[in-house]
Chains A and B, each alone.
Chain A
Amino acid sequence: MPGRGFSILIAVVLLVPAAFAQAPREMLDAAGRYVVVPAKVERVYAAGAPAGILVFAINPDKLLGWTRAMRADETPFFPDKYARLPELGRLTGRGDTANVEVLLRARPDLVVDVGATAPVFASLADRVQQQTRLPYLLLDGRFEAIPETLRALGRAMGDEAAAQRLADYCERAIAEVAARVAQVPPERRPRAYYGRGPQGLQTALGGSINAQVMEFLGARNVAGSVRGGLAQASLEQVLAWDPEVIFTNDPNFYREVWGDARWGAIAAVRARRVHLSPHLPFGWFDFPPGANRIIGLYWAGQILYPALFRDDLRSKTAEFYRLFYHQEPSAAQLDALLGEVGVLPR
């Protein structure tokens, strides 16, 4: 058939030069979806906070905006022009605030979400992709997957070298922390409780994304026997668990726990081992569930195993912030992050 031969010829003529220039590439994302990514990616829309942090870390000039505008206490941690990036909303199927038209108006070359890769999120990605004709990559947000996710994102954005540097850092940190934790026999791992909410009585169950730092560090999550996400615990149950260490992300709870007679009966409170996680500009322990928690591994590791984690947290923090947030924190910022009061400048 002559028509067929002709179309093959056309295809060859069209494809050969394209193969020499940079061609759109087909990438396999973490949900098993094939996504055609344009040759040059200059504008990236991050669908959620974890994705935004990774895109920003790899190449801040390609991030179109944050999922929500930076608050006054967060902006000092970034170079000015990035702190003022616009608020574009989130589009992850978990309480979306983004408008598809806003997404289109931002004219991204690529949409990225980093998080769970379950079918429901894959289908959301497919839907947005069909609707907007924008390539939508869904990448794995699990802790251990961060290095691989960074590399994949680097390939998609055309910033392989920067992504590789960050991935190496994360890989080294994760391996180093895992090796230290492996030395601790199970019975020497503290029983830990994670208290969220103003009363400290919302906790993260076993396997939940919120308890990942704690569980990665081998702490025995007292609420870990029940698998799930977040749940309400009772004070009596916490007394029965009698944790040796308490982590919290709530400054109100942290302030009040010391004077409360009910909490005073708990081993962690008596030993003054209640710790408020730093949260600026992104949380160290829990939220958002992204690469921001890597530095939290060292912080929480030092709390759980002071003998094994003898790192200088100031220089560790400075290094991490320089790498991921493109600005080294000032001495005062480091004091505020790492001081006992944790997060005072609010």
Chain B
Amino acid sequence: MTRRAIPAYAAALAALALLTLLAFAVGRFPLTLGDLAALAANKLFGAGYAVPPTAETVVMQVRGPRILAALLVGAALAASGTAYQGMFRNPLVSPDILGVSAGAALGAVLGIFFSQSALVIQLGAFAGGLAAVAVVYTVGASVRRHDPILALILAGIVIGTLLGSVIALLKYLADPYNQLPAITFWLLGSLASVAPRDLAFAAPFALAGLVPLALLRWRMNLLSLADDEARALGVPVARLRVAVVCAATLMTAAAVAISGIIGWIGLLIPHAARLIIGPEFSRLLPLSMVLGAAFLLAVDTLSRTIAPIEVPPGVLTALIGTPFFLWLFATARRAWQ
């Protein structure tokens, strides 16, 4: 197994490292490579090179946090997507299947509707995401006569639609000159306004979600079996499922709270990773995260550099991601299921 995995990991990590370096070097604010090198030397080795203060602000407060946020959000969305696709035994599942994005969107839209500050909007998005999944899970778990997985997905779809219609109502009632554009921009998703404090907010939750997935990586494979088979092997299916839902929800809600809604990654990056390395969860999860991080970083770097105004990443993810995915789909030799 390792012989096959190592080249894939090495290539993905190398691509990620290269992309990260490139992302630091490009941007709308003109920075010389000298400034960047001097700043890196100052920060990493305590050297005392003179760097223009604005250049330092750009790197430490604006560009750097944004790069880290792209990595964090990309990895978090890909990890939740991977966990959900395994757990639901369904390749069409994405992290928002249980309503986390719809709940987060409603939380944020409410914040904008009531003219709250950026921080309140962010907290509203996070809380909304968690609350929506809690409701969906409660509803799904209380229907005992049906297949639990199906009940959960159905509850997610129904409540997601309900939340969507509340959002539509708020958009309709919002002031068309001021609030409506703000709502539209939030729903489009963007990392344009990421500040260090957003990272400090999202990173702990994302990590808190990742740890259980990493610890449960072996058992995750057993979730892809039918429930009674898994139970026969001694897996506490119901408890495991709760743990996975909690972990994935924490990660996605934290990501969405700082980035708005960015689609595609959580659905298709896990497939890409599976095409490369196969479905075994302990190998799949890290590769999926690396690919997700690299992909969103690439997209976000483009979205902040190709024009003076931002190109919504949600537009670019599909424009760039689809050809890449189709190519992988056509050329990969391994079964991805």
Contact = CB atoms under 8 A, between A and B. Distances in A.
A201 B193 contact: yes
Residue among B115, B121, B193 with the highest chain A CB neighbour number at 10 A: B193
B27 interface: yes
Given A236-B28, A239-B58, A202 B116 contact: no
Interface in B12-33: 27-30
A252 interface: yes
Given A199-B118, A287-B177, A236 B304 contact: yes
Contacts of B188: 232
A233 B309 contact: yes
Given A196-B182, A197-B185, A235-B192, A261 B61 contact: yes
Interface string B303-315: 0100111101000
B185 A202 contact: yes
Interface in A163-201: 196-199, 201
Contacts of B57: 239, 261-262, 264-265
Interface in B67-93: none
B267 interface: no
B141 interface: no
A38 to B, nearest CB: 30
Contacts of B27: 236
B182 A240 contact: no
A202 B304 contact: no
A197 B172 contact: no
B42 interface: no
A133 interface: no
Contacts of A95: 172, 176, 180
B309 to A, nearest CB: 4
Nearest to A96: B172
Given A202-B185, A237-B29, A232 B190 contact: yes
A251 interface: yes
Nearest to A287: B177
Interface residues on A, range: 35 or more
B117 interface: yes
B118 A252 contact: yes
Interface in B177-199: 177-178, 180-182, 185, 188, 190, 192-193, 195
A111 B121 CA distance: 39
B118 A256 contact: yes
A226 B180 contact: no
A73 to B, nearest CB: 11
Contacts of A49: 177
A223 interface: yes
A52 interface: no
A193 B310 CA distance: 15
A231 interface: yes
Nearest to A251: B115
A221 B112 CA distance: 26
Interface string B155-177: 00000000000000000110111
Contact of B310 (A94, A231, A289): A231
A198 B117 CA distance: 6
Query: What 3 pairs between A and B have smallest CB-CB spacing?
Result: A287-B177, A231-B309, A232-B310
17 contacts: A197-B182, A198-B182, A202-B185, A223-B308, A230-B185, A234-B66, A234-B193, A235-B192, A237-B310, A239-B54, A239-B58, A252-B115, A252-B118, A255-B117, A256-B117, A262-B57, A262-B195
